[in-house]
A and B are shown apart, each in its own frame.
Chain A
Amino acid sequence: MDLMQFIDLALDIVSIAALVSGMVFVLAGSIGVLRLPDFYTRMHAAGVTDTLGAELIMIGLILQAGWSALSLKLALIGVFIFLTSPTASHAVANAAYRAGLKPHLKRFAPGREEEAEPTETRP
């Protein structure tokens, strides 16, 4: 009986930790999508954090729901998001690259030195 209570408490703590960290990941990804300067950096913010945040929230909710049909459906949604979210991210990034969208290169752009030198030698 004591052991069961301990297991319940441990599952509660793991569930709370998974839910809170998943929410933090999703919020951080959203703020990154809003703030970052370029499509590819926004892709990096959204595509990486969405999968992990979704999986963590699913795990937390599965631990809350216990053994039931609801838990099975949650696991199905989790598996589906785990398969399709990286695929969709790859498809969006590949489509943007194929369409010729250039990344926003400020400091490491090729040919920046060649463009910068004539302005210095201008009389």
Chain B
Amino acid sequence: MTSIPILDFAVALGLAVAMAIMLARLFLGPTLYDRVLAVNSFGTKTVLFLVVFAVMVNRGDAIDIALLYALLNFIATIAILKFFRYRSLEVALSEIAIRRRDTGDDAQSDRSEPTGGA
């Protein structure tokens, strides 16, 4: 079982096209959440591109970088969402639970119109 470099190159090219499209959505997305979605999807495609590239040139080192990207991408998405909801990264989860218990449901308390700027 050996790698097929031409097929890997074609898949890497397709992933590069998908990444370019995702960058376009990142720059023209109207709301913040479109941009977060584009960043998350772009990160997933970066991981795939790195993995395909590593198998194509037969270098196992790049797989570790791809694993790091996969870990970092998830944390970054959750951190961005938490920051734009609570406007702070230092709100502890226990404090959020206390606030939710006091006000019933916090869905109404922070219902603000999402703005276009990132």
Report which A residues bind B (CB closer than 8 A).
8, 11-12, 15-16, 19-20, 22-23, 26-27, 29-31, 33-34, 39, 42-43, 46-47, 50, 53-54, 57-58, 61, 63-66, 68-70, 73-74, 76-77, 80-81, 84-85, 87-89, 91-92, 95-96, 98-101
Contact = CB atoms under 8 A, between A and B. Distances in A.
Interface size class of B (residues with CB under 8 A): 35 or more
A42 B18 contact: no
Nearest to A83: B74
Interface in B12-63: 14-15, 17-18, 21-22, 24-25, 31, 33-34, 36-38, 40-41, 44-45, 47-48, 51-52, 54-55, 60, 63
Nearest to A81: B70
Interface of B: 1-4, 7-8, 10-11, 14-15, 17-18, 21-22, 24-25, 31, 33-34, 36-38, 40-41, 44-45, 47-48, 51-52, 54-55, 60, 63-64, 66-67, 70-71, 73-74, 77-78, 81, 84-85, 107, 110-114
Contact of A70 (B41, B63, B84): B63
A19 B2 CA distance: 14
A54 B15 CA distance: 11
What's the dominant secondary structure at chain B's contact region? helix
B14 A27 contact: yes
Contact of A54 (B34, B38, B48, B112): B48
B3 A33 contact: no
A8 B8 CA distance: 18
Nearest to B67: A77
Given A11-B1, A26-B18, A96 B31 contact: yes
23 contacts: A8-B1, A16-B7, A19-B8, A26-B48, A29-B18, A30-B22, A33-B25, A34-B25, A39-B33, A42-B34, A42-B37, A46-B37, A46-B40, A54-B48, A57-B51, A68-B60, A70-B63, A73-B64, A74-B63, A80-B70, A81-B44, A95-B33, A99-B85
